[in-house]
Amino acid sequence: MFDPIAGRMSQYLDLLADRQKLVSANIANADTPGYRTKDIDFQFEFQSLAAGMDPDVIEPEGLKTKNDGNNVNVDREMRLLSENALRFNFVSQVLKGEARSMRMALKDARG
């Protein structure tokens, strides 16, 4: 029922949710010896998003590894959480507007 752009936005939200889970796990394991940061290549995954496919999880390059083998950078992860929240809120608002427009169009068509 939504146009193709709204469908892509829905996929975008799913990808944001996947990233949110990874970032949350990274933060939860910030003090776990040997834990390696997990992420997704967001731009690549969104451009090549196939319906129903899980994104490829990667280990970001260039992160400093502590003596215990853990490479989680909490500042980086908090930045990603904030970025994810901004993206999610923006796309959610656009989708709400799209749904509102459809409801108004249907109401006008009936009236």
Q: Could you give the CA distance from residue 93 to residue 87 in angstroms, rounded to a whole number?
A: 10
> pLDDT tens for residues 48-69?
866 567 889 999 999 999 999 9
Q: Parse the chain into domains and list their residue ranges.
A: 4-110
**57: β partners:** 40
| Two structure tokens written together for 37 | 């940061």
> pLDDT tens for residues 92-108?
888 888 777 777 777 77
Can you give the pTM of this predicted structure? Answer: 0.81
